[in-house]
Structure 1
Amino acid sequence: MQLLLVSLIPGMDLPSQHQNPTQAMVRNCGYIIRVSAHVFFLISKCIYVCLRSACSMDQGSCGCCLIQQKVNMIKMYFNMTLAKLEKEYLQTKQSLCNIEASRTAFSVALFDDVTFQCYGPFTLNTNIIYKHVFLNLGDSYSVDTGIFTVPHSGVYTIAITIYSDAGSSGRLLAACASLQVNGQVVSQSREQNRDDQEDSATVVLVLQLMAGDKVAVNLPEGCFLCEYNSFFNTFSAFLLYATE
């Protein structure tokens, strides 16, 4: 069916392999609206030219004036429908633009180098600065501060993973971190003991955030995180849907 429409209506095109199909649909919809309006105008003009002379000669018997009235009614209905379609087309196009503009997602890890190294411990609570960037769509995460600045009000999924290694059995293990929004703790994980040489934890939340909110992962005083041979400590978030 789509191929048939493309062949019947010059100007329409099928989305290529690398083209957004939604954008192609919106563009083709607008083109069909314009073509339909032009075709109806030509049909109405032809009917009007053919019937005008006959109606002026014999209005009582040929009934062409009634036909002309029907054509005018259809034309009025078509214009109303066309205006509604054009309005919906513009709204759809705007919605698509808004969706593309609000795309936000990032995922980062603690170190670029995965050889064994640790972050902390510090004598004060410290924001963790993740240096290895897997993805930073929208550039809302800062590798200089470790802070994710919310670009659009909406509902977000946020996840952190932590891992630490005491180095040997019997030494103090302090694997802990807290997720904070605007400096306030939202959730945290803490594991401090001398029984385990290593331990890990994961925190996943769905939060409604406002544009401008600051989201960060904080390392509590005395805690430390370690990595080796892989990216064990990560911080990720993505926008589920915008509410603004």
Structure 2
Amino acid sequence: MAHPSQLGFQDAASPVMEELLHFHDHALMIVFLISTLVLYIIVAMVTTKLTNMYILDSQEIEIIWTILPAIILILIALPSLRILYLMDEINNPHLTIKAIGHQWYWSYEYTDYKEIAFDSYMVPTQDLNPGQFRLLEVDHRMVVPTEAPVRVLVTAEDVLHSWAVPALGVKMDAVPGRLNQTAFIASRPGVFYGQCSEICGANHSFMPIVVEAVPLKYFQDWSTLMLEDA
């Protein structure tokens, strides 16, 4: 999760998020090089004593400043399109979960298990246990297995919401009457926090998302326990 004074992204917990981090570094390096070049040109023009009042145009310079930006855009666009394709690709999910946004909580339905469904509310500050995070902890976490493709079907019951977990590299709008889908693979066990990322009313800030990734054996034990309690 995020920490105070943090400058970078959260630690990646899925292959897609790792790709997003690499793309961020790639784009930032290009921005740095462009900024350095522009700064050098400005300093050189201000400090030089050489002047030429007779150059009205230069075909060579115009070709350079036309082709160079096109090359830079291609260098940014190609890896970006690749990541967009990876984010939209959903192949044979091992588990499908339906996430439903409400004002102001989330509901989860495990469609592969007919009787596993629950609501997920934020834990009030006065009810938090030591070590739990204010405005981020919920009473029922969404539990998923690690190293397995998980598909999340996202919708809403009332107004627009958005289901987002930064460490997993997922963000999908929840639209009433429409079923959107996203997918992720949790590459390591852990607890990953997110929040509704679409302004949805007075308590928009109080409907967190918590995904707990566990090894397959523990997920099977959890699902068995949930079915027994249903």
TM-score (norm 2): 0.31
TM-score (norm 1): 0.29
Looking at CA atoms only, which structure, 1 or 2, has the larger radius of gyration? 1
